[in-house]
A and B are shown apart, each in its own frame.
Chain A
Amino acid sequence: MQFDSFSALIAMDGHGVYVWSVYGISFVILFLLALNPVLKNRRFFVEQSMKSRRDSMLSERNEKRLVK
């Protein structure tokens, strides 16, 4: 390792604030980019399953009406 201690790794001779901010901000942006499709998929499956349930209930009701 290039640094003698953990605190030296954090401080990086005064450049730590720039270096660690870059890695932190990059991590957050990459995480949000990856999270976006996961949430979109979850919402999609919930909406579509509700829709198909609603459709099947409606068609059942129509069938009953036709039988009467």
Chain B
Amino acid sequence: MGSPRWFYSSSEKWVPWLAFVAIGTLIVGAVWGLAFAPVDFKQGNSYRIIFVHVPTSAVAMAGYMIMATAAAISLIWKMKLAQVVMKCCAPIGAGMTLISLISGSLWGKPTWGTYWIWDARLTSMLILFFLYLGVLALYEAFEDSESAFKAGAVLSLVGSVNIPIIYWSVEWWNSLHQPATIKFTEESTMHSDMLQPLLLMIAGFYCFYALLLLVYTRSEILFRERNTQWVKAIVAKKCNDNFTDKSLQS
């Protein structure tokens, strides 16, 4: 267990199910949030951006913790699979952080009157984006994959300091950004008609993140193990299948 080969073969059946659940949940959540959730009495319809902004921000932060955990596991136990997962977290996390930044900026214009302000929450989120890009760039900067991995792992571990800063920035500093809407310890400050589609979108984005991480990891495993017998067998089988399909068509 834990070997790339085992992961590749046992994760295959998860891909279509995760894709179905993730895309289905996101479509239902988006339609619900855009057309059926009630209008906010203060912000009007611009608040509908929350259904993208909050889930992507949460996933971007959780994704960073996954990357840092994978980095720690692979540095301590030299686990190959954790190395692969760590590398795959970076582009997906960068994409999610970019959506969070763009959606926040477009929400800021009608609500605060500006697209951007150097506020604690916004700045720390921008740093998160650069941390993801930094890990990606470090991978490309080294010829030797082992050094590239170590440099990326150290950066992701050091950068995890930023996560609690993002989370509590709205409480520690005087921020233009509103405090958390969904709280774990007390009742949420949101009406249930708005909260339900938001929770659905959060679940959808987490599933979509899991799907992306799974697909990226599987693809990276194939590439890394390309010289092994089991990958060569998969390539040969795929070629044969393609050949039979083409001959059947003609």
- Using a CB–CB distance below 8 Å, which chain A residues touch chain B? 1-3, 9, 12-16, 18-19, 21-23, 25-26, 29-30, 32-34, 36-38, 40-41, 44-45, 48-49, 52
- Complex: how many Å from CA A26 to CA B236? 37
- Using a CB–CB distance below 8 Å, which chain B residues touch chain A? 30, 34-39, 44-46, 48-49, 52-53, 56, 91-92, 95, 98-99, 102-103, 106-107, 109-110, 208, 212, 215-216, 218-219, 222-223, 226, 231-232, 235-236, 238-239
Determine whether the beta carbon of A3 is less than 8 Å from that of B35.
yes
Supposing A40-B219, A44-B222, A49-B239 touch, asked if A19 and B34 sit within 8 A by C-beta, the answer is yes
Determine whether the beta carbon of B35 is less than 8 Å from that of A30.
no
Please tell me which one of the listed residues B110, B215, B218 contacts residue A15 in the complex, with CB atoms under 8 A apart: B110
Determine whether the beta carbon of A19 is less than 8 Å from that of B49.
yes
Determine whether the beta carbon of A44 is less than 8 Å from that of B49.
no
Determine whether the beta carbon of A22 is less than 8 Å from that of B52.
yes
Determine whether the beta carbon of A44 is less than 8 Å from that of B219.
yes
> What residues of B have a CB within 8 angstroms of the CB of A21 in the complex?
106
- Complex: how many Å from CA A48 to CA B230? 13
- Complex: how many Å from CA A30 to CA B219? 17
> What residues of B have a CB within 8 angstroms of the CB of A12 in the complex?
44-46, 48
- Least Cβ distance of A47 to chain B in Å? 9
Determine whether the beta carbon of B235 is less than 8 Å from that of A52.
yes
Determine whether the beta carbon of B216 is less than 8 Å from that of A23.
no
Determine whether the beta carbon of B91 is less than 8 Å from that of A33.
yes
Determine whether the beta carbon of B48 is less than 8 Å from that of A33.
no
> What residues of A have a CB within 8 angstroms of the CB of B34 in the complex?
9, 19, 23
- Complex: how many Å from CA A16 to CA B46? 8
Determine whether the beta carbon of A18 is less than 8 Å from that of B106.
yes
Determine whether the beta carbon of B106 is less than 8 Å from that of A22.
yes
> What residues of A have a CB within 8 angstroms of the CB of B36 in the complex?
1-2
Other CB < 8 Å A-B pairs besides A22-B53, A23-B52, A25-B102, 14 of them?
A12-B46, A12-B48, A14-B110, A19-B45, A19-B46, A22-B49, A26-B103, A30-B99, A33-B91, A37-B212, A37-B216, A38-B215, A40-B223, A48-B232
